[in-house]
Amino acid sequence: MLQSVKFKNFKSFTRETLIDLKPSKIEYLEDTNVANGILKGCAFYGSNASGKANALNAVTILLDLLFKPFSVPSDAFTRFNDEKKMYFEYTFLIKNSVVVYSFELDRAKGITKESLLVDNDLKLDRQIGSAKSFITENEDYDYVDRNTLFLRNIYFNTGFAGQQVLIDLFSYLKNSIYYNPFRSINQIVSFDQQKINDLYLEPYLEQHGEQEINEFLIKYEFPFTISYQKKNGMPIGMRLFVQRKKMAPIPLHMESVGNQILLSFLPSYLTVIKNGGILAIDEFSSGFHNDLEELLVRYFYEKCKNGQLFFVSHSTNILKTSIIRPDQVYSVDFDDEGSYITKFSSYGMRESQNMEKMYLSGAFGGIPIYAHNKE
């Protein structure tokens, strides 16, 4: 699982920033929100344009660079200073082994540094176009592509044969999914290219049937279930129906946008809960009622044993010590130097305190300040 992310000069973040998933001394929600000594993810709160999505992207950019044919976009470099270099450091705990992977990027030269350590044992060291690898048959490499992480090349060329910790790490990362319901109901990014089609609702139902989703809907007393007619000659989009009690079934496209978002989200959500990995959600509060958001967060923490949920939200109702720990929540603010984050637990919160009320009062930062109309 991901233990921490450290980064600098990434998008709106010019300062060195640390997202730390090591739990604090908080004693509540340990059985549900902590696994293997690591927090099961975190949430980002802040005003519009404060940098919340950028903080989330600091987690997901590693997945893009490792698993997709993806070069670092020019807008990844901050525009708030003239620094030429950006760097990231990711620390993972994989079956009691600590894996630290870091890389540095230059605006003009591309990837200039790359390092991989497993339990403090150096496995990879890259300096611009040359690299040393201690996990492959060859040790020395020249003319390394400046636009591609060398670790990605090793993975696709060797599968890390004989390196079980790295095999387990990449299995965890590859299971990860990014979801954004705001930009499009179908905005799903899977980092396992062989599984991407199965995460869209109708292909998922074609493959797995509707039982798993209906069991979730029935268990939590949703007012509807779904039915799917497999390959019945009808066009895609007309095979899936929503069934409410004592009402005729209606096609999904006639349902509310909120329920369409929920049903499009459940395959990704349930897949990460079962298989592990990172589930990253931007605009989590789009289309969901407050009670539904609370249910989804609580259910993930209770049921997922080897996964982490990272999300951006404006819904303050989730900020309850019965759902999420203060060391899992960051406020995101913006000043003359760009974005910065603050962990709620740094204020020494107690379980009995009202985290939502404290946030809305400005105790943790991350709230907009607008002039009120006095007329």
> How does DSSP assign 213-274, residue by residue?
HHHHHHHTT-SEEEEE-TT-SSPTTSSEEEEETTS--EEGGGS-HHHHHHHHHHHHHHHHHH
Per DSSP, the three-state class of 262 is: helix
Q: Is the pLDDT of residue 361 over 50?
A: yes
- Going from N- to C-terminal start, the domains of the chain cover 2-175+276-360
pTM for the complete prediction?
A: 0.94
- Top CATH class of 2-175+276-360 equals alpha beta
**CA 209/CA 270 separation, integer angstroms:** 13
Task: Give the count of alpha carbons within 13 A of 3, CB side only.
Answer: 16
Task: Return d(Cα 327, Cα 151) in angstroms, integer.
Answer: 31
pLDDT in tens, 55-94: 999 999 999 999 987 777 778 999 999 999 999 999 999 9
Distance CA 268, CA 188 (A): 8
Contact 102, 88 (CB under 8 A): yes
Tokens of 27: 């004693």
The C-alpha atoms of residue 176 and residue 68 are separated, in whole angstroms, by 12
The answer on pLDDT for 226 being more than 50 is yes
Asked whether the beta carbons of 8 and 58 are under 8 A apart, the reply is no
CA gap 328, 22 in Å, rounded: 9
Residue 177 clears pLDDT 90, i.e. is over it: yes
Q: Which run of H or of E encompasses 44?
A: strand 41-46
**What is the band of 375 on the pLDDT scale with cuts at 50, 70, 90?**
very low
